[in-house]
Amino acid sequence: MVVDVPQDQQNELVKLWASDLREASYNMEDIIDTFLVHVDDDGTKAADTHVLRRLGKQVKKLFKKTKHRITIADSIQEMEKKLLEIDARHGSSTTVTGVGSDSRSMTIAT
């Protein structure tokens, strides 16, 4: 596994690949956090007794959620492109194979 190999013995391409993947995982986490904050709320705020005011707030909230969903969808598409670039850039010189039943356990052969 890559983590078992000392830093000074790792191939430079493997280091770059691992760095790119780490950065991509941080970006994916940011996208998920954005979704949870702006779209996936449970709406447990106090109900307004005035029907038109409540309807207006719901419509406004719906438009805001739609805007955030579009932004998140664009971010996901950009992330997919970045991951394909990482794969294309590092895939030709590095082979990644899973080991055992744990998908987090990976062996990298160069």
86-96, pLDDT tens digit by residue? Answer: 888 876 554 54
Residue, of 108 and 49, whose pLDDT is higher: 49
pTM over 0.75: no
Which sequence spans correspond to the domains of the chain?
A: 7-40+57-109
Residues 55 and 3: their CA atoms lie apart, in Å, by 54
Statement: residue 7 has pLDDT above 80: no
Secondary structure E strands in 1-110: 95-98, 106-109
Check if the beta carbon of residue 93 is closer than 8 Å to that of residue 13.
yes
pLDDT band at 59 (very low <50, low <70, confident <90, very high): confident
